[in-house]
Amino acid sequence: MKSNTENKYAALFEPMNIGKLQVANRVILCAMGGTAPIVDNLYNKNPEQFYMNCARHGAGLIIPGLSILTDKWGRPGWLDEAGDVFRGPLKEFMCQLHEETETKFILQLGAGMGRGLRANFGLTLPYFNYSNAMVAPSDGMPNVFAPELKHRALTKDEIHKLVEVMINSAELAKEAGCDGVEIHAIHEGYLLDQFSISNYNHRTDEYGGSLENRLRISTEMISGIKKRCGKDFPVLMRYSVASKTAGFNKSVLPGEDYVEWGRSLEESISVVRMLEEAGLDALDCDNGTYDSWHWAHPPTYMPQGCNLPEAAYIKNFTKMPVFVSGKMGDPDVALEAVATGKIDAVALARPFLADNEWVSKVREGRVDDIRPCIGCHNGCFGRLTRGLNVSCALNPSSLQEDKYRLKETEAKKKVIVAGGGVGGMEAARLCKLRGFDVALYEAGDRLGGAFRAAATPDFKDDDKKLLAWYDKQLADLDIPVHLNTVVDNELIEKVKADAVIIATGGAKKRIPIPGCDQPHVCDAKEYLLEDRQVGGNVTVIGGGLTGCEVAYTLAKQGKNVSLIELMPDILQVADLCKVNSDMLRDLLRFHNVQVYTGAATKEIGGDYVKFEKDGETSVIAADNVIMAIGYDPRPIEVTVPGVKTYVIGDADHIANLLNSVWGAAEAVNDL
């Protein structure tokens, strides 16, 4: 008999059709960077285990990261020249996937980056022929990341070649056993998207001018694939319903008034109708462009279901199935969207990285056991933009299964975990799963450590869910938790521990600013955890991530906020993903936070702060001052002979959550 909880989510498990292809349910693992099966015309085996994990746990459809038609740096080699890859390892994997699961697999084929090509070292090294990669619909288009670099226009012959290779590659995908293809993309400001938008496309030939002409490259791809592969072979489009862009490198925030510079909702109606007429079978939707990329890669500051309203709107004008991605990982948000008919299916990417078992846990009514994605981008998109392998800050075994696979131990060691922050809780959880005799000790009266303070703002609901998830995992695993207990050598000897994992976090830095010990001055952690009341004028000292988030929190409350940072710029935080920092900067601007960089705080008075910048002294009103100047590691010293010790997280070095969680996994695997 089905449980009430399972019945609640039944709408997510109804089958659906994409053309004549039946998909078992309404939950899609959608494309994300770092999960492409074909890279530089070589097979990428690394994502296979991730795909299989998600498929075995019930994902209805998998759309992997894009396999690009030509190398993004312009080196020779078109995707349709990799026939051996399609007919060999990709076909073998398709056979395995279809034999072992009922999950469908639609290969995403990428037409190119255009002006979204990331301007890093590759654009300056002479052995890269980047003139072949620095292309756009029209001459002179500025690169998103380095606007001083201009792109050249594709020739008509190059356009025809792209269309030809797209069609040929789709045919190879069909031969490999893929269930369809998704064209990448009239989405996020990629090349086909640039062709479709008048402010990017100034061509005067048949690929520019009218909307029909601007869509021609895309419709030729769609109709060409249908002609070559058959009308029943599904063709999808990754599609941004609205560009949410006010100009070159001018982003738009939720709720902000603006004049659309890219694709408006009204124009989107015509676009969708033309794509459907060309033979398209489904729309895989979001919003945004690289100029406003927090819509396509929503960080923690974006609301749940941020792209749902536009996708639901466009569904009214098409018979095609419509999917949507973007902060849809809450099962109740996903359910409401599908059950009410706003969309046909929910598309999840990062939630699957955080928890490969998302679908089976929802089906079984175990939604409280889903490890939530918190929108940090530390393990996924942030690593991708730095040229590192993609995984998850909270779940390092995603796409790194061999390295982080837990093995049950035969040596039943007794382990103490000192510190009940996220790193400590993760270490205790993993120890118990491996079969160790583990106990968790926390010096304070609550678990969560510094992360509990970080989770306090109203835009950190997913952080709160993560803390609740850890509470449940520790309880379900029956792990002893000792609060208000400091781990020292006496305790270690008393319990006869074989190993100690030190996750004691950091201690706040102290800078001797005159006046910093007054009652109206507090640390950021104290402000967040103690719900301190502040006056109308608040100064935050320290422009790192914590300081900027505190300033944003205060500004949302209507406070007059000033932010003072000694460095030349705010948010100079190692490994902070650019999409997160870009949006936070925009939020500070939108909420009129006064930011003073390169400024040294000299004095805190009873109702003012004095600082020096460029040799000049300024005074600003301050009813309250909040210090956000960082932490120093605070490990404990273990001198008991024969006890193995591991120092993880901020106790070792101050960094982000990934450092704590991955450090816990590495320590436990080494035990």
Give the pLDDT confidence of 92-131 residue by residue, as tens digits. Answer: 999 999 999 999 999 999 999 999 887 553 444 444 456 6
Q: Structure tokens of 323?
A: 């999917």
* pLDDT score, position 71: 63
DSSP H helices in 435-577: 449-454, 461-476, 489-495, 524-530, 545-556
pTM of the model: 0.96
Q: Cα separation of 562 and 555, whole Å? A: 9
C-alpha of 244 from chain center: 19
* CB distance 483 to 446 below 8 Å: yes
Question: Which residues of the chain form CATH 3.40.50.720?
Answer: 410-508+632-670
Residue ranges in the chain whose pLDDT is less than 50? 1-4, 121-128
* Catalytic residue flag (residue 190): yes
Tokens 């933009």 belong to which residue?
385
- Please give the DSSP secondary-structure letter assigned to residue 87: I
**CATH 3.40.50.2000, domain 410-508+632-670, yes or no:** no
Question: Which residues of the chain form CATH 3.20.20.70?
Answer: 4-402
* pLDDT score, position 118: 77
Burial class (CB within 10 angstroms; exposed 0-12, middle 13-18, buried 19+) of 202: middle
Residue environment code for 537-574, b if the CB has 16+ CB neighbours within 10 A, otherwise e: bbbbbbbbbbbbbbbbbbbeeebbbbbbbbeeebbebe
CA-closest candidate to residue 215, choices 199, 237, 240, 193: 193
* CB distance 154 to 217 below 8 Å: no
Query: 4-402 has which CATH code?
Result: 3.20.20.70
CA-closest candidate to residue 279, choices 219, 212, 213: 219
What is the Cβ-side half-sphere exposure of residue 581, based on CA atoms within 13 angstroms? 16
Q: Cα separation of 234 and 203, whole Å? A: 31
Q: Cα separation of 264 and 259, whole Å? A: 9
Superfamily covering domain 521-629: FAD/NAD(P)-binding domain (3.50.50.60)
**Could you read off the pLDDT of 368-400 as tens digits, one per residue?**
999 999 999 999 999 998 889 999 999 999 999
C-alpha of 540 from chain center: 28
The catalytic position among 51, 190, 207, 290 is 190
- Please give the DSSP secondary-structure letter assigned to residue 31: -
